[in-house]
Amino acid sequence: MRIVQQVRASDWWIYKIPPILVVFYLVASFSDKNITDILFCLLFVMGALIAGASFVSIINDYTDIEQDRLAQKTNFMEAMSHRKRLLMLVVSISCGLVFTLAMSHNIFALITYVLSYLSFVFYSCHPIRFKERKWLGVFADAAGSQVFPFLFVAFFTSKFLEVTIGPLFFWLTSVWALCSGIRGILWHQLYDKSNDIKSNLNMVVQNLNYKTLKRIGGVLVALELTAVVVICIKYQLMMGSIAFLLYALYLLLRIKLHDVEIVALNHRRKSYAIFMFEFYQVFWPVSILVTLGLQDLQFLILLILHLLLFHKSIYLIYKSITV
């Protein structure tokens, strides 16, 4: 569908949404609500996340037309009239406002949801445009794409499903989201380095050598992994253990079969995998739902729904160890 291409859903659907849903599944696992309430909550959360991700894609393309032209990158906005560009931007903002108004009774969910939008307004728009302000851009992207969406889901789901979660969960989730978000945007800058140079954009990674980036990646992974392990131990030990075991076996297979380099951030080989990303995208959410389904059959509905929505990520895992 054309709209799916215009909001660049292929860039975020299987990569950004499943890790955020891990938070939803963890919170839902402590709820006494029936599956109907859980599904309704999931529907709202998914709608809000899709609206936010679409807004990010649209505002990025809207403000990057000139830079993308210099780098000869595809930008769907470039072929549109100015009126149509504005219409898409207004529609995406309006969708966000609908969800914002619908959660007006949940102040913490509302604040974090709005902050996820504002992060990318500051990231993309002149004259502030954190994207061109090095580390400010890195933190704005990590906050807008990871930290605030993760916290929004935790706040909204816990209140909607009447689950009491202590502050430790929110702190651990924030550390996990921030560190993985920083790794994500730094990897993206490395991947897009040549295009950024063509566009006259001076990004963080252009001023850091391989060893410095490797140290930064190592520190981020250490903090990130600590937060994830504590979450698993304190909240769902069995789910986390199963996911880690399967993920470790998967990495070993990739190394043995294809000599894949496992990296925290930057890489030297052509064939590589960023440590923990596939764990968040596939192994952890699926393991949570399988474990919950074995304990309560109603959660099998969530598992089936998740597999239908994100079947491509499962296929990519299979493909990476067979092809």
Q: Is the pLDDT of residue 323 over 80?
A: no
Mention every residue, 6+ apart, whose C-beta is less than 8 A from residue 317. Answer: 250, 278, 282
222-245: per-residue pLDDT in tens?
999 999 999 988 887 677 888 899
d(CA 203, CA 200): 9
d(CA 187, CA 152): 25
Q: Is the pLDDT of residue 200 over 90?
A: no
As a whole number, mean pLDDT of residues 72-77 equals 77
Q: What are the backbone dihedrals phi and psi of residue 272, each rounded to the nearest 5 degrees, phi first?
A: -150, 165
Mention every residue, 6+ apart, whose C-beta is less than 8 A from residue 37. Answer: 31, 160, 161
d(CA 315, CA 306): 13
89-145: per-residue pLDDT in tens?
999 999 999 999 999 999 999 999 999 999 999 999 888 999 988 899 999 999 999
Mention every residue, 6+ apart, whose C-beta is less than 8 A from residue 66. Answer: none
Domains in the chain (CATH in brackets) are 2-236 (1.10.600)
CA distances from 148 to 88, 108, 114, 156, 209 (A): 23, 10, 9, 12, 30
Which tokens in the block code for residue 241? 């253990």
Choose the weakest-confidence range: 4-8, 138-142, 227-231, 255-259: 4-8
Q: What confidence category does residue 1 fall into, taking pLDDT thresholds of 50, 70 and 90?
A: low
Query: Is residue 260 helix, strand or coil?
Result: coil
